[in-house]
Amino acid sequence: MLLKVTKNVLLPLAMGMLLLACDRGSQESIQHSPVAIEPGKECHLCGMIITRFPGPKGEAFVRHNEQALMFCSTRDLFAWLLQPDVTSQVEAVYVHDMAKGDWANPQDDAMIDAHKAWYVVGSERKGAMGGTLASFASKAAAEKFADEYGGKLLQFSDINLELL
């Protein structure tokens, strides 16, 4: 009798745990692609209309949310990203490659992985609410921008709240 009860309880429990493990694995492997920033879309951090401002913008995808969180500038993106409670939720982050398109109208089909981008901080070019971090896919493009507009080159891991 005990063997029958144990088998009737443990087998379904084990199967349920296996299914949960498979489901969790599939959730963690979700791939996100950047999406176009539509007119009228508001910045997740400050609420301003994103497309009203020049310069690079950003977007992030967080766990349990298929919609991109969008930001009016790379500065706002990083101000949000660097909050302690945010880091563990982020699944993907994208910024504009400013070597493509122009400063006034960044190209949404030129979004790149923010972790791999090169950034120029302290340039004379302004984004939403002032200074921003110009983002580039290549170091050479970032160096060229810095030569023309000033600023210093950084990588993703160099950026912190104190810098912002």
**Amino acid 19: pLDDT:** 42
Say what the pTM is: 0.81
Model pLDDT for residues 21-34, shown as the tens digit of each residue: 444 444 454 689 99
CB 127 within 8 A of CB 149: no
pLDDT, one tens digit per residue, over 115-133 is 999 999 999 999 998 999 9
* pLDDT, the chain, mean: 87
